[in-house]
Amino acid sequence: MKTWKKVAIGIGGLALLGIIVLVSIHQANKDVVTVQTGTVKPEDLSSLVTASGEVRPLNYTNVLGQGYGLITDIVVKEGEHVKKGDLLVRIDNIQPRADVDAQSANLQGAQAGIASAEANDASAQADVQQSTAAFEKASLDWQRGQKLFEQGLIAKQDYDTFKSSYDQASASLAASKARAVQARAQLEQARDALTQNQATLRHQRDVLQKTTYTAPIDGVVSYIAVRVGEYVVPGIQSSQGSYLMTISDMSVVTAEVMVDETDIVNVRPDQPVDVSIDAIPNKVFKGHVTQVGTQAVLRTSGLASTQSTTSNQEAKDFKVVVTLDKPPDGLRPGLSTTAKITTAQKKDVLAIPIQALAVRTRHDIEEAEKKSGNQGAVTLAAARPTDDSASTSTDPDKQDIQGVFVVRNKHAIFVPVQTGIAGVTDIEVLTGLQQGDQIITGSYKALRTLKPGASVKVDNSAPKVVDENQS
């Protein structure tokens, strides 16, 4: 045989051997899934609820119009600190002041009328006393005259004189008593007129007082809504008066945030909060929850759910008030904030990445157990699902079981677990795993399609970064 034929036969044999090896390797690795893994280890976990809102003072008041008039002067400026009672705004007071002056004069006249009525009453009472004395004397004379006339000691003329004097004194007493009653009535009338004039004066002074507005609390003028030359309109019935300005007490600052309805059940008073303010970047301020709302608020309209006349399924929030422990200087109401509320904390607990959690049906797990010949492909028999790890489906085969895949002997073993609090990226494991267990954490595609008992290959190398500028 020629040499070139021998060489060709050798090359063909090597090629055939290579093909056989490649096919064998491909068949061996055909059902092997490449995964990334992690280790179950103890960690410190904090469960957080994140919500957004705005800065608000704990105590603030809106100054509203109480009287009608033209604004003539605004004494303060936005951002100015004021004390309770400091002057804020003046409105035109010419007519109210004239009304007060006129009513003051009327009150003085009423007081003079009281003095005159009291004098008349005193004079009438004196007349009554004088008439009473004269009547008593005439009565005694009349009694003596009757006895003397009966004894024949006086003439009929004298007897008639005594009787006439008695009748005259009686009539005079009755007239003086009538005048006394009239004088007392006039006095009471004058007193009523005085009371009425005093009430009218109080009303006129109140109207005059409402032409100047003073600060109801200590604080900062956070907003002024009017200008000089505009008219102030008072509130009537259910309508509020003109909005003039807002005074905010910034000594105690809060952040009012809206928490999603799915998270509100975990929020409690006194829980610690980290507050960040958009206007003060790269800084976090400590605070605590001081108030948890009990009324749901519609996310689109901002109205309480009880104010809606129709039933709807839109998302709802609950208002939570967070008090800043040490608010920075210069805060202004309305600044946007983000609050991270720590709803639970645990130290040194077994934790795994949240992404490692998977859900499989009972049917899939039992099928994998049968195929593996009961060689430990699953641990379902050792850890039956509980109410926390299984769905409420009435069909046992369709029940969803929560668990993780543990790498054992190069196979993915599905282990049901019970979980506790969840942090930002990790979650607590209560049952099912032990410290040091190697669990599958990725990739997402592998976890989504991975079957219990499947062969796996661990590849924890860093993913290659594709250079976009490379052609």
**Strand, coil or helix: 183:** helix
Position 203 scores a pLDDT of: 92
Number of Cβ within 10 Å of residue 356's Cβ equals 23
The number of folded domains in the chain is: 3
What is the extent of the structural domain holding 303? Answer: 250-344
Position 366 scores a pLDDT of: 77
DSSP assignment of 114-141: HHHHHHHHHHHHHHHHHHHHHHHHHHHH
Residue 294: exposure state from Cβ atoms within 10 A (0-12, 13-18, ≥19): exposed
Position 9 scores a pLDDT of: 65
The residues with which 289 forms a beta bridge, in sequence order, are 322
**What is the CATH classification number for the domain harbouring 162?**
1.10.287.620
What digits encode the pLDDT tens for the residues 272-296? 999 999 999 999 999 999 999 988 8
Average of pLDDT values for 358-378?
Answer: 70
Let me know if residue 224 belongs to a domain.
Answer: no
**Strand, coil or helix: 282:** strand
Q: Same domain for 105 and 129?
A: yes
Average of pLDDT values for 204-221?
Answer: 91
Average of pLDDT values for 30-59?
Answer: 88
Q: Same domain for 105 and 124?
A: yes
Q: Same domain for 117 and 133?
A: yes
DSSP assignment of 351-363: EEEGGG-EEEEHH
Q: What angle do CA 167, 170, 174 make, to 5 degrees?
A: 140
Average of pLDDT values for 43-69?
Answer: 90
Q: Which of 259, 255, 264, 289 is nearest to 51 (CA)?
A: 259
Residue 73 has pLDDT above 60, yes or no: yes
Residue 32 has pLDDT above 90, yes or no: no
Let me know if residue 433 belongs to a domain.
Answer: yes
Q: Which of 463, 467, 360, 377 is nearest to 417 (CA)?
A: 360
Tokens 């109140």 belong to residue: 206
Let me know if residue 4 belongs to a domain.
Answer: no
Average of pLDDT values for 176-194?
Answer: 90
Average of pLDDT values for 392-398?
Answer: 62
Position 28 scores a pLDDT of: 45
The DSSP call for residue 370 is: H
Q: Same domain for 305 and 327?
A: yes
Residue 371 has pLDDT above 90, yes or no: no
Position 12 scores a pLDDT of: 65
Q: Same domain for 162 and 257?
A: no
Measured in whole angstroms, the distance separating CA 256 from the mean position of its chain's CA atoms is: 7
Number of Cβ within 10 Å of residue 106's Cβ equals 17
What digits encode the pLDDT tens for the residues 98-147? 999 999 999 999 899 889 988 998 998 999 899 899 888 888 988 888 88
Position 329 scores a pLDDT of: 83
DSSP assignment of 43-83: EEEEEEEEEEEEEEEEEEEEEE--S-EEEEEE---TT-EE-
**Strand, coil or helix: 153:** coil
The DSSP call for residue 457 is: E
What digits encode the pLDDT tens for the residues 152-169? 888 888 888 888 888 898
Let me know if residue 464 belongs to a domain.
Answer: no
Q: Same domain for 295 and 340?
A: yes
Q: What is the mean pLDDT of the chain?
A: 84
Let me know if residue 227 belongs to a domain.
Answer: no
Let me know if residue 254 belongs to a domain.
Answer: yes
Q: Same domain for 359 and 327?
A: no
Residue predicted with more confidence, 304 or 435: 435
Position 29 scores a pLDDT of: 47
Position 347 scores a pLDDT of: 92
**What is the CATH classification number for the domain harbouring 290?**
2.40.30.170
Residue 396 has pLDDT above 70, yes or no: no
**Strand, coil or helix: 95:** helix
Q: In degrees rounded to 5, what are phi and psi of residue 435? A: -60, 135
Residue type at position 368? A
Q: Same domain for 175 and 265?
A: no
**What is the CATH classification number for the domain harbouring 401?**
2.40.420.20
Residue predicted with more confidence, 366 or 80: 80
